[in-house]
A and B are shown apart, each in its own frame.
Chain A
Amino acid sequence: MSSPPTVEVRQLTRRFGNLVAVDALTFDAYRGEILGFLGPNGAGKSTAIRMLCGLLAPTSGGARVAGVDVVAQPDEVKRRIGYMSQRFSLYGELRVSDNLELYGALYGLHGSRLQERLDWAISLTKLSDRVGARVDELAGGFRQRLALACALLHEPEVVFLDEPTGGVDPVMRRAFFQLIDDLAAGGITVLLTTHFLDEAEYCHRVAIISRGRLVAAGTPTALKELLAGQVLVDVRSDRPGAALTALASLPELAQVELFGAGVHARAATGVSETQALMATADALHRAGVPSSPPAAALPTLEDVFLDLVGHEEVSP
């Protein structure tokens, strides 16, 4: 990328007592990019975001967001960023329009400029017929969009979305990512945290975080190539638990994980694809577990994640 990064993070570290919540985090994000922080709960994603928003001072290291040093000028950072928390923090007892007006006013918008941005936000949220409704009467998907609109009213260069899709149904989630994609295409840098692996697939680049450290970063495709050369076996079954038990101690397989309605297994080193598939089919047959014929699978982000991070909790 030719233009300078809009987010530059260097050795960013935050300790809480003895706990190192964020450990020497270093990365860049560029204009128009969607960068996803993927990691289990408690990995330090939110702490990192809070530091980048100027809400929390780093213990050491630093960062520049939209050209502003977050340690030296946290207040200036706030003017240039948008932030949406995982709880879509809106005032539930206020109307849609009240919430929008409040956030507009907090960022110094007024007069025709405010009206223009309000109209934009209402069309973005598709809430034109419910402007007078109380926010706590809205469904999750609408609240999510309203929260996003509030965070974007002042046209920030960078938006931080902390677990932006919690409690929202899959259809709404897909629509939401479409929206995020449009925003990025318009030149905004989007940093989001998630522990949903399928959401990470929507990101241009993914940074995998575990225990405060950056474990790997790259495009979803590049991350999957980390597992190139490894043989992955996919089994679909109505009884994934039984399949897991049947395969767990098979010497030809190194790692067996539940994967949706089935199981993903990685072949042990030196075991060929054919050997692995045959051994798997054999073991399932012996155990009497009904399943699809085992097939070689392409690595998913989940495989990468499990390979890098291990068995910490993560939602498929």
Chain B
Amino acid sequence: MSVAAVARKELRQISRDPRSLGVLVVLPAVMTLLFGRVLSLDVRHVPIGVLDRDGTASSRALVAALVSGEYFDLRSYAASEADLDRLLLTGKATLAMVVPKGLERALLAGEHPAVRVVVDGSNATSAQTALGYAEQYLTEAGARLEGERPAPLFSTRLRVLFNPELASDRFLLPGLMAMILMVSATVATALSIVKERETGTMDQLRVSPLSAAEVVLGKALPYSVLSLLAAVLVMATAWLAFGLAVRGSLLLLLLLATLFVLGAQGLGLVISSVTSSQQVAFQLATYATMLPSFVISGFIFPLRSMPKALQLLSAVLPVRYFISGLRAVVLKGAGFEVIWPEVLALALFCTSMLALAIWRLHRTQL
């Protein structure tokens, strides 16, 4: 009953403070909308520089072929190698192509002239992707110029499941959603106990017969409801703005989100119990959630290619299980029989965090 009294108090406090309500419920969806738009590992509109030493119809056809799609934009023609180097150095071009003198003549003579492509490798990921595209375009264009297409030795039929366009935003959105929810849910409660300590109301609660468990649950439950509301808005945003429809069961998704959010709130309360000011609590909560959810959660960087130590560390991160569960349910339509390990891990996280928060609060009472 006292849990209900504390929960009612928390809800009243939040509802009297529209700004914090907005930050907790609406901001995650706004963030998803904002960052989801730029969230892409796909390479488009790569600026290229061209040094055309041939200056024939064939060389121009080659350049035209390269910039025909949306992947490459012709930024400028260079007059010399030095000019081309400068374009790469200043970042005006990411990719440079040198068409050798005598290209057309060589082609007509049935030779296989080499076209040199230089790429700015300072962003390794996009450089690799751009090279791949360039190679593909040039091979096709070359074949057209030669007027023949070499028959492949064997044919391959590729089929991509779950994300047929291999769009990276499909893959990244669940991670982004998990990260935003992790940060917002943790920060929300991280501030709450410290705030009560700062204003002295914590002492007032402590002299009442309220137990530590009642304080923790009374705080975690109402915030979880709000964070779940935020999660629903985030899902809706991902669906409406980015067409990320949920293939699997919504109920299963809700279960994952509930366990995750409740655990994050427990973590926030633990942070709240070990800090003495709202400022420190905020910083600790953001550091503890932001970086791990970004770097070692499988959000962007595949876990399998990480050093063993980091893989082990990520194994205790709830956000990792939430992301993989989310991807499985949203993209693949997986059911409970597939993602039960994720559910189990999140349930463990949730109970251990709440227990830790209760223990901490009980201890600081003495």
Contact = CB atoms under 8 A, between A and B. Distances in A.
A75 B209 contact: yes
Given A89-B199, A89-B200, A105-B5, A57 B366 contact: yes
Interface in B184-229: 199-210
B201 A90 contact: yes
A150 to B, nearest CB: 8
Interface of A: 53-57, 75, 78-79, 81, 83, 85-87, 89-94, 98, 102-103, 105-108, 110, 134, 150
B17 A93 contact: yes
Contact of A94 (B16, B205, B206, B208): B16
A199 to B, nearest CB: 20
Contacts of B5: 102, 105-106
Nearest to B16: A93
Nearest to A147: B204
B209 A107 contact: yes
A78 B200 contact: no
Nearest to B20: A93
Contacts, number: 70
B2 interface: yes
Given A78-B209, A103-B208, A107-B209, 7 more contacts: A55-B365, A78-B208, A91-B13, A92-B199, A102-B8, A105-B8, A108-B1
Given A57-B366, A93-B16, A85 B204 contact: yes
B16 to A, nearest CB: 4
Interface string B1-18: 110111011001100110
Contacts of A107: 208-209
A20 B210 CA distance: 30
A14 to B, nearest CB: 12
Interface of B: 1-2, 4-6, 8-9, 12-13, 16-17, 199-210, 365-366
Contacts of A56: 366
Contact of B205 (A53, A79, A106): A106
A55 B207 contact: yes
A103 B8 CA distance: 12
25 contacts: A53-B207, A55-B365, A57-B366, A75-B209, A78-B208, A79-B209, A81-B207, A83-B207, A85-B203, A87-B199, A89-B199, A89-B200, A89-B202, A89-B203, A91-B13, A94-B9, A94-B13, A102-B5, A102-B8, A103-B204, A105-B1, A105-B2, A106-B5, A106-B6, A107-B209
A156 to B, nearest CB: 10
A103 B6 CA distance: 10
